[in-house]
Structures are given as structure tokens and as C-alpha cells.
């Protein structure tokens, strides 16, 4: 019994020691935990002041106000085309591609879409910029952004809607184009400035979509004016700027500090394809002339007096002939305005309407911009004697119709001037004018009709049954007598519009062995892209 009590006491003692040990552990843990909380509550940097974000107060300056006002009028343009032949054919837009030796490049952001086996055509897409000049949806951009494109889409910075645009007209010699969208409501338009007023050192601001990044704004200064570059066309004299412009800015506006458009961003000087601080914009004064011609007639008309001159003439030549400025006439075109007025080869043209002529480019620019039919007075040096002649300025394409390379015509237009032309229409056909013998053969005494020379595969025209050698007599009951008639009619049509062609097609022979021509309608609805 005593042994039992002893064992019981030992157990109680052991239990008591265990409780004491646990109690001591709890107390120590509590103290440690309390100490840790106390350490965390201390300030790590007692001599540092907390930072506070102030209330948002917009500072604002001329650039921010300019950007807010102009961004709604600057648009992003995306265009695509699908080559009809193998994809390794040269890009029809004339992009410089991999030629790293060519430093002057038109710039747009582009890439091929889709894929397939080698030799199969696939869609190419490219993007650029433009700016709204009319609240009804008329937009100026670069021709190389939209030329020969199957589809043109426009996105506004203030609207998520993607608008389908149609090409109103273009001018390859200045690389400008006019496109139109049909907006839901009147749009914000830019303010046009006067590029003749800008000076080297003036602020310049570019807005566009470089690399597809919409409404990007960059600023710099005007680095030079009247800049000539080797790859430019005759009528391109650029404003040079160091405002950062990159692929995708093409066709966007260059602005002065007042927010007025002074140029159309067109080209960059680069060895890498990106911005190197040298960009070129076509002066807005030239762009306005092109735009006004296009919205009036669908094409650009330039004046001429019918002379040629050598661009390689040196100032020493004029000095040797007793003049310090002017243009030495090289050739006077037969029956042209200058010849009829009395101007001769080797004359030196000194002034036009009393204003001195600096050089040949100056003369060409001023004559080209003059309204057709204007009578201008030219002061001429002939053998040391000063004479004056009144010359009527005529359409350059008419003056040099037998020399299309001087008239500035493209290959297709050169063929047209010779009566052999084929011209593209968005219906997917190529057409040409009928000759008088063809009209007689087909019984078209009223001079109606153009002949289809080819039909594109998978085109609207192929879908509705138009064939090569068909004669189009009318479109939507409007008589067709020329290629221009087709261009004019198709320029008014939009995706979703119904189109009816009256066609004449050869179908066998009459008893007298003359061709039998059948007349009928074909029709369809232009695809909504």
C-alpha cells in the first residue's frame, strides 16, 4: 500500500513538473511574441518623411492643347490586297523592300497575312495614316498607302467603328490620294495652314499611327524647306523635320505650333527602316492643289507651255550667256503654246508675270499650278535683248500627248493616250475604248461602249458573268462611251450597291456573214467587305 502511495506521489510530481515546464514555455513565448510586435511597431527610418500623391492638376502647354484638338481629325488606315500571281512578284506599291542601300523610303507599316505553299498568292496588309479635311468624310493620305489595294479601312481615334473607304482619286507625281468614308455624323476636320510661311527652326508636330500605334504625337523642328532628294518625283520638294516619324506615320499631318497642317508626312531617310531623325513632308500648299483637282475632276491637271530644259545646266552656263538667273530653253515643242507665242530654243526665260524665275524647277512648278487657259507674260533674254511674250498655259497631257514620258503619264495612261489603253475598274475588269471601225462593226452608231480586255479571277465581274471581249454599253442605265465614264460611275458606288451592266456579246454570224451581236443585262451586288 505504501508502495502504491509512493508511486502515486511520483506521478503527481512528474505531472506537476510537466505543467510547470509548459507554463514557463507559454510565458517565454508570450514575452518573445510581445517583443516581436514591439519591434515591428518601431519606425525603420525615423528621419524620413512619407510621400504623398497630389491631386491631379493638368499643367497643359501648346503641345497638349494641339494634340487634344487634332487627334480626332487624324485617322488610322489599313489596306490589303491579294496578288493575282505568285507572291514573290515585286510589290506593286514600289516599296524599297530589302534594298538597304536606298536610304530614302516611303514608309508604311505592312506585313503579309495568311500563308501557303511557295508560289501561291496570299493577302498583304499595310497600315498608314491620314487626316480628315472635310466634315463629310474626305481624307488626304499618301498614294502608296492605298494604291492598288483591294480594300481600304479607316478607324477614327474617337470611334471604334471600322469604316470602309473608297478611293476618290490619286496623284503618283506627288504621292497623294483622296479617300472617303461615310460617317454617322459630321466629323472633326483639320485646319489647313500655309506652308510658304514656315521657316527653318519652327516647331513641327507629327501625328499618326507608327507601327499601328494610333494617335502617336511627336515633336521637333523644321530642319529644312524645299528639300530635294534623289528618289523624289519632279513636283516633290519636301519640308524636312526631325520630329520622330516611323513606318505607319505615312499620310499623317505635319503641324505647326498653332495646330495648322503644313505638310503630309511622306518619306524618311533611314538605313534601318526606323526613325533616324530625318523625315520629309510634302508641303500642304501642293497637297491642297492636288486635292482640289481630284475632288473636281478625279485627276490632277497640270499646266505646260511646251518647252524642255536640261536639269544638268550649271550656273556658269547662264553666266557665260550674260544672265544670272532663269531657264535656258532646250527645245520648243512643235505647235505648243511657247512656239505659238514666239519663244525659241536657246532663249533664257527670266521671269513669269514679272516675278523672276530661279531655275527650271521653279518654272515648272509655277506653270503647272496655273489654271488651264491662263495667259501669262514671260520675259525672255534672246541674244542679250530682253523681250516679252504672252503665252496661254494648256494641259500638259494635251501639249505633250505624243510624248507621254514628258506628260507624266504612267504606262497605262501612255497607252490610253495612243488609244490602246486598258484601265482597271473595281469590278475586276480591264477595259479600253472602242475604235471607230469597231463601233461600225458592232452597230454602235451613237459611240457608246467600251470593250472588256480581261476579267480578274474570283472578281465581281466574273461572278456575274462578264467575259473578255464583251462590250459594256451602260451601267445602271447610264451610257458608257469612254473609260472615264466607267471610272466616274464606279467612283460613286459603294459595297452593297446593286449594279446592272448592259452588255453586247458576239454570238455567231448573220446570213451575210457579219458578226451577230446579242444585247442583254448582267447584274449583281457589290460585296460588303
Cβ 127 vs Cβ 248: under 8 Å: yes
Q: Which of 216, 250, 459, 474 is catalytic?
A: 250
Chain centre distance of CA 338: 36
**83-104 b/e (C-beta count within 10 Å ≥ 16 → b):** beeebeeebebebbeeeeeebb
Q: Do domains 303-399 and 422-525 have the same CATH topology?
A: yes
Cell numbers describing residue 320 = 557665260
What is the architecture of the domain spanning 303-399? Roll (2.30)
Look-up: residue for cell 493620305?
141
**422-525 falls under which CATH superfamily?**
PDZ domain (2.30.42.10)
Q: 144, 347, 381, 485: which one is catalytic?
A: 144
> One digit per residue, pLDDT tens: the chain, 529 residues?
554 455 566 665 665 666 566 566 554 555 445 554 545 557 888 889 889 888 887 766 778 888 888 889 999 999 888 775 543 444 444 333 333 334 555 554 555 444 444 444 567 888 899 999 999 999 999 998 998 888 899 999 888 889 999 999 999 888 999 999 999 899 999 999 999 999 999 999 998 877 767 768 888 999 999 887 766 566 778 899 988 887 778 899 999 999 999 999 987 776 565 666 688 999 999 999 999 999 988 888 889 999 988 776 677 788 888 888 899 998 898 889 999 999 999 999 999 999 999 888 889 888 988 888 999 999 999 988 999 999 999 988 888 876 665 555 554 444 444 443 444 456 888 888 877 667 666 666 566 788 898 888 778 888 899 998 899 989 988 888 888 888 888 878 877 888 999 898 887 655 655 567 788 889 888 875 4
Task: Give catalytic status of residue 513 as yes or no.
Answer: no
Confidence (pTM): 0.63
Q: Where are the alpha helices (DSSP H) in 392-496?
A: 396-399, 404-407, 411-417, 436-441, 460-464, 483-492
Domain 62-300 grouped into CATH 3.50.50.60 = no
Cα-based distances in Å from 314 to 325, 342, 360, 365, 505: 11, 26, 11, 20, 60
Cα separation, 331 vs 403, whole angstroms: 13
139, 290, 292, 483, 485 from 295: Cα distances, Å: 11, 9, 5, 18, 16
Question: Pairing between strand 203-208 and 385-392?
Answer: unpaired
User: Which residue is catalytic, options 171, 175, 470, 485?
Assistant: 175
Q: How far apart are CA 529 and CA 151, in angstroms?
A: 7
User: What are the extents of the domains in the chain?
Assistant: 62-300, 303-399, 422-525
- All three cell numbers of 527, joined, read 460585296
Q: What is the DSSP string of 194-258?
A: -GGG--TT-EEEEEE-GGG-TTEEEEEEEEEEEE--TT--TT--EEEE-S---TT-TT-EEE-TT
Three-state SS for 151?
strand
- Phi then psi for residue 31, to 5 deg, are -65, -45
3-class DSSP state of 417: helix
Q: Is 144 an active-site residue?
A: yes
Q: Are 101 and 127 in contact (CB under 8 A)?
A: no
- Distance of CA 461 to CAs 81, 122, 452, 486, Å? 17, 21, 10, 13
Amino acid at each position: 500500500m505504501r508502495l502504491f502511495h509512493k508511486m502515486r506521489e511520483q506521478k503527481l510530481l512528474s505531472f506537476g513538473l510537466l505543467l510547470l515546464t509548459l507554463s514557463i514555455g507559454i510565458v517565454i513565448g508570450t514575452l518573445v511574441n510581445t517583443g516581436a510586435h514591439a519591434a515591428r511597431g518601431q519606425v525603420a527610418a525615423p528621419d524620413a518623411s512619407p510621400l504623398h500623391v497630389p491631386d491631379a492638376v493638368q499643367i497643359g502647354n501648346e503641345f497638349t492643347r494641339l494634340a487634344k484638338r487634332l487627334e480626332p481629325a487624324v485617322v488610322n488606315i489599313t489596306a490589303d490586297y491579294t496578288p493575282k500571281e505568285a507572291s514573290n512578284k515585286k510589290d506593286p506599291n514600289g516599296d524599297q523592300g530589302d534594298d538597304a542601300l536606298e536610304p530614302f523610303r516611303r514608309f508604311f507599316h505592312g506585313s503579309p497575312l495568311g500563308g501557303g505553299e511557295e508560289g501561291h498568292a496570299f493577302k498583304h496588309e499595310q497600315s498608314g495614316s491620314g487626316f480628315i479635311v472635310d466634315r463629310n468624310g474626305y481624307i488626304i493620305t499618301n498614294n502608296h498607302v492605298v494604291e492598288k489595294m483591294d480594300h481600304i479601312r479607316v478607324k477614327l481615334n474617337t470611334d471604334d467603328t471600322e469604316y470602309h473607304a473608297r478611293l476618290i482619286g490619286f496623284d503618283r507625281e506627288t504621292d497623294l490620294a483622296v479617300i472617303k468614308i461615310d460617317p454617322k455624323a459630321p466629323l472633326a476636320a483639320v485646319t489647313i495652314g500655309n506652308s510658304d510661311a514656315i521657316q527653318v527652326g519652327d516647331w513641327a508636330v507629327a501625328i499618326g499611327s507608327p507601327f499601328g500605334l494610333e494617335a502617336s504625337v511627336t515633336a521637333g523642328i523644321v530642319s529644312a524647306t524645299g528639300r530635294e532628294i534623289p528618289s523624289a518625283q519632279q513636283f516633290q520638294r519636301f519640308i524636312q523635320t526631325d520630329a520622330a516619324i516611323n513606318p505607319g506615320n505615312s499620310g499623317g499631318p505635319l503641324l505647326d505650333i498653332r495646330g495648322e497642317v503644313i505638310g503630309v508626312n511622306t518619306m524618311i531617310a533611314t538605313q534601318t527602316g526606323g526613325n533616324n531623325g530625318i523625315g520629309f513632308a510634302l508641303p500642304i500648299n501642293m497637297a491642297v492643289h492636288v486635292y482640289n483637282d481630284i475632288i473636281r475632276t478625279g485627276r490632277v491637271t497640270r499646266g505646260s507651255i511646251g518647252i524642255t530644259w536640261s536639269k544638268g545646266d550649271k550656273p556658269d552656263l547662264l553666266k557665260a550667256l550674260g544672265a544670272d538667273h532663269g531657264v535656258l530653253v532646250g527645245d520648243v515643242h512643235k505647235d505648243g503654246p511657247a512656239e505659238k507665242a514666239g519663244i525659241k530654243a536657246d532663249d533664257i526665260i527670266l521671269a513669269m508675270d514679272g516675278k523672276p524665275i530661279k531655275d527650271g524647277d521653279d518654272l515648272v512648278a509655277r506653270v503647272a499650278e496655273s489654271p488651264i487657259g491662263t495667259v501669262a507674260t514671260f520675259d525672255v533674254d534672246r541674244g542679250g535683248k530682253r523681250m516679252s511674250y504672252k503665252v496661254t498655259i494648256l494641259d500638259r497631257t494635251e501639249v505633250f500627248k505624243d510624248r507621254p514620258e514628258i506628260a507624266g503619264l504612267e504606262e497605262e495612261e501612255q497607252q490610253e493616250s495612243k488609244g490602246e489603253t486598258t484601265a482597271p475598274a473595281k469590278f475586276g475588269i480591264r477595259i479600253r475604248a472602242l475604235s471607230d471601225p469597231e463601233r461600225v462593226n458592232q452597230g454602235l452608231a451613237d459611240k457608246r461602249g467600251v470593250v472588256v480586255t480581261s476579267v480578274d479571277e474570283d472578281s465581281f465581274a466574273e461572278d456575274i458573268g462578264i467575259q473578255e471581249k464583251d462590250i459594256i454599253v451602260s451601267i445602271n442605265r447610264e451610257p458608257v462611251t469612254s473609260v472615264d465614264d466607267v471610272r466616274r460611275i464606279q467612283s460613286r458606288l459603294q459595297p452593297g450597291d446593286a449594279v446592272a451592266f448592259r452588255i453586247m456579246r458576239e454570238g455567231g454570224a448573220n446570213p451575210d456573214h457579219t458578226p451577230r451581236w446579242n444585247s442583254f443585262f448582267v447584274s449583281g451586288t457589290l460585296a460588303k467587305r
